[in-house]
Amino acid sequence: MKFSATKSTLVYALQIVQKAVSPRNPVPTLSGILFKTGADQLTVSATDLDLTIECTVPVTVHEPGNIVLPARYITELARRLPDVPILIETLTAGSAATISYGQSQSNIHGFPADQYPELPELPEAPALLISQGKLKEVIRQVIFAASTDETRPVFTGALLEIRDGALTLVATDTHRLAWCRLPVQADEIISIIVPGKTFTEMLKITGNSEEEDVTVYVSQSHVFFVTSVMQISSRVIAGKFPPYQQVIPREFSTRIKAVTRELLEATERASLLITEGMPVVHFNLEKDACVLSVHTEAGWIREEMDLQVEGEPLQISFNSRYLCDALRAINSNEVLINMTGPLSAAVIRCPENTQYLSLLLPAQPKPARSE
Amino acid sequence: MKFSATKSTLVYALQIVQKAVSPRNPVPTLSGILFKTGADQLTVSATDLDLTIECTVPVTVHEPGNIVLPARYITELARRLPDVPILIETLTAGSAATISYGQSQSNIHGFPADQYPELPELPEAPALLISQGKLKEVIRQVIFAASTDETRPVFTGALLEIRDGALTLVATDTHRLAWCRLPVQADEIISIIVPGKTFTEMLKITGNSEEEDVTVYVSQSHVFFVTSVMQISSRVIAGKFPPYQQVIPREFSTRIKAVTRELLEATERASLLITEGMPVVHFNLEKDACVLSVHTEAGWIREEMDLQVEGEPLQISFNSRYLCDALRAINSNEVLINMTGPLSAAVIRCPENTQYLSLLLPAQPKPARSE
């Protein structure tokens, strides 16, 4: 293998795939990045066996070939190279590469490419074409509700369904749930559970333009998100996603309408005093009066908010971290919260958007205590 | 105590003093910030008994008084307050304060001010007046050479001397030394050892303009740096700073002149491959040819630099972390390194500045190994 590239091209490609490297994996090649040159292009790939990221960039190929290089050295070195043409070539053995820049050189030990695990193969027919920006926004609005508890794998993912001209994404950790629906053009019916980690990493990748389309492919065991420069593939989670429609309350007895940022900031302030146990904030709702309060050993806080309260008066408590997550996922200036008593799930919505909601179970109110 | 302030005033003052709070100190009041109101001003103070920071800002005082409030709550709360007038008042007991903003309130438990340790008292006569920007630059150029090993306290500080119309700052951890001299107008002769931590914190405080003067006061046991809004005081370190003049080589047999940034970047790149033991980089110097190299299990790197080499050819090795620290302290485009053999300290200088230098002992070259 022998190719020349600019520093920026190399750094761009390595930074994108780096997120899938698993540095502490007992399989040593997995701490590396696979380099593969084709006709005037370089494809770099990294995988942790669940998530695989590949990035293809234009380079000048002098001799096609491949090698696996340790991610930590090659990414750090690339980032610190001077801004001159970079020549990378492998020795005959194919287990070390020389990086030449100006009058200087570095030689890094790697692994022959045939020791790298086989990467999942892209199915022939795409399932869906969607704009990167829209897909990311749907993911951002839903993924916070996924669980991180690996003992129940189904809850660590998000259900991605395509049917009836719409894409639906749902995540729940059983305490909360987020649901988003987006009209799409697709013929296939698809229902898979995508690992939360895959979506979280996708949000971090600032690829090319958000306007660009991403093509989604689905195989028996994998889902693929493909753009002109990169391909992200992920194992799907086996199992059955719980039937969630039935838990979404259709009616409510109390509703508040608040400025999203104000409610979020008040909840964040109220949480500051909580340093132990579950961070619970209390709401006292009466006609057009909302008081948010917390009492702890450290002191108390009482936030009185001017916001619209309709329906029955209600005293209700929430895990403040969960409430903040839900409010941060709201992408509208105002937020609606529909409630049906102190023990039933609240429904959090953007006004004028029936295609998004999240659900939040109230926290058990703590026994009253004297100040 | 009762006063009104804007959010930005409060946040500004708290952020400055916060650096002296010692959250894990067994004395509970030390995890707090002392509030004290005088005539139309608020002074907040924090101390870890070594370092004390006080900041005075204009507020509207309704009732003078004082209280100690837990730093973590009051600073976080202040930062998250809405941008409305803030009213802070203590209850009659003086051990809790109510913070009112808009229609909302928080009450934080604190401590009566008389439980706070006594703060060092400012001497009457100042020792020196110096511009903040110049003082910070001298500190930045020297403080990296101080030790962090608390078993030998003298080396954890920097010697600050004022005599013969100059301020001299010197720090050494015995492997390296940095020295800077600045002409000043001062009559007093002063020689104290200031803790490195004090200087490091001073560099982090972005107070008001760098142009503003800072007045230095020295008492038996403390040094004070005073500006119009803040006062930083620090215990001085008892002991005798080692005689350093005699270790500074006056002659040299090999000299290199390099572009500071190029030499720094090459050294940083060369260090990347070193993951175990002391990070040693090797220099091979011949007439106008400098080769920097590192060999490790992971591979090798060979940086060939176009730079001016005068005098005897030399092979010399340095701890790359120390060398990078020294090069980062150089504030000129070019750097001079004067050497007198592979085992003697190198002298690192800015060209055209005889008032700054740092010294770096070479690393013992490792036994040669085959590639």
How does pLDDT run across B333-356, given as a tens digit for each residue?
999 999 999 999 999 999 989 999
Same domain, residue pair B19 and B82: yes
Q: What is the distance between the alpha carbons of residues B310 and B340, in angstroms, rounded to a whole number?
A: 12
How high is the pLDDT of residue B371?
Answer: 40
Q: Is B86 among the domain residues?
A: yes
Q: For residue B106, which phi and psi values (nearest 5 degrees)?
A: -130, 145
Q: Is B100 among the domain residues?
A: yes
Report the residue from A104, A108, A302 with minimal CB separation from B105.
Answer: A302
Same domain, residue pair A97 and A51: yes
Same domain, residue pair B295 and B343: yes
Report the complex ipTM.
0.87
Same domain, residue pair A309 and A344: yes
Taking the CA atoms of residue B147, residue B152, residue B157 and residue B163 in that order, the dihedral angle to the nearest 10 degrees is -130
Q: Is A73 among the domain residues?
A: yes
Beta carbons of A298 and B73 less than 8 Å apart: yes
Within a 10 A sphere around the Cβ of B83, how many other Cβ atoms? 9
Provide block-wise average pLDDT over 10 residues at a time, chain A (371 residues). Answer: 96 95 88 95 96 96 96 95 96 88 95 94 93 94 96 96 95 97 91 96 77 91 95 96 92 96 96 88 94 94 94 96 97 96 96 94 67 40
Residues 103-162 on A with a CB inside 8 Å of B are: 103-109
Q: Which domain holds residue A16?
A: 2-115
Q: Is B17 among the domain residues?
A: yes
Beta carbons of A80 and B109 less than 8 Å apart: no
Q: Is A344 among the domain residues?
A: yes
Same domain, residue pair B187 and B288: no
Q: Which of B104, B264, B275 to mutate to test the interface with A (most CBs of A within 10 A)?
A: B104
Same domain, residue pair A132 and A79: no
Same domain, residue pair B236 and B177: yes
Q: Is A123 among the domain residues?
A: no
Same domain, residue pair B148 and B229: yes
Same domain, residue pair B56 and B151: no
Q: Is A120 among the domain residues?
A: no
Chain A residue with the nearest C-alpha to that of B291: A104
How high is the pLDDT of residue B370?
Answer: 44
Q: Which one-letter amino acid corresponds to residue A161?
A: E
Q: What is the distance between the alpha carbons of residues A153 and B99, in angstroms, rounded to a whole number?
A: 45
* Domain endpoint, select from B71, B89, B115: B115
* Domain endpoint, select from B207, B226, B245: B245
Q: Does B269 touch chain A (CB under 8 A)?
A: yes
How high is the pLDDT of residue A221?
Answer: 95
Q: Is B70 among the domain residues?
A: yes
Sheet containing strand A334-339, edge to edge, reads: A190-195, A157-163, A166-172, A176-183, A356-360, A346-349, A334-339, A254-259, A308-311
Beta carbons of B103 and A304 less than 8 Å apart: yes
Kindly state the DSSP code that residue A19 receives in the 8-state scheme: G
* Domain endpoint, select from B115, B140, B158: B115
Instruction: Indicate the number of domains in chain B.
Output: 3
Q: Does B273 touch chain A (CB under 8 A)?
A: yes
How high is the pLDDT of residue B194?
Answer: 98
Q: Looking at residues B183-208, what average pLDDT do you find? A: 89
Q: Strand B32-38 and strand B96-101: pairing?
A: unpaired
Which residues 6+ apart lie within 8 Å of A261 measured at CB?
A333
Q: Is the pLDDT of residue B365 over 70?
A: no
Report the residue from A104, A268, A300 with minimal CB separation from B302.
Answer: A104
Q: Looking at residues B5-17, what average pLDDT do you find? A: 96
Same domain, residue pair B205 and B152: yes
Report the residue from B106, B266, B269 with minimal CB separation from A299.
Answer: B106
Q: What is the distance between the alpha carbons of residues B214 and B226, in angstroms, rounded to a whole number?
A: 5
Same domain, residue pair A108 and A167: no
Same domain, residue pair A59 and A148: no
For chain A, report the end-to-end CA distance as a whole number of angstroms.
Answer: 73
Q: Looking at residues B76-84, what average pLDDT do you find? A: 96
Placement of tokens 């003093």 in the chain: B17
How high is the pLDDT of residue B207?
Answer: 61
Sign of CA dihedral B137, B141, B142, B148: positive
Report the residue from B102, B107, B298 with minimal CB separation from A108.
Answer: B298
CATH number, domain at A328?
A: 3.10.150.10
Give the closest-approach CA distance of B345 to chain A in angstroms. Answer: 27
How does pLDDT run across B218-255, given as a tens digit for each residue?
999 999 999 999 999 999 999 999 999 989 999 999 99
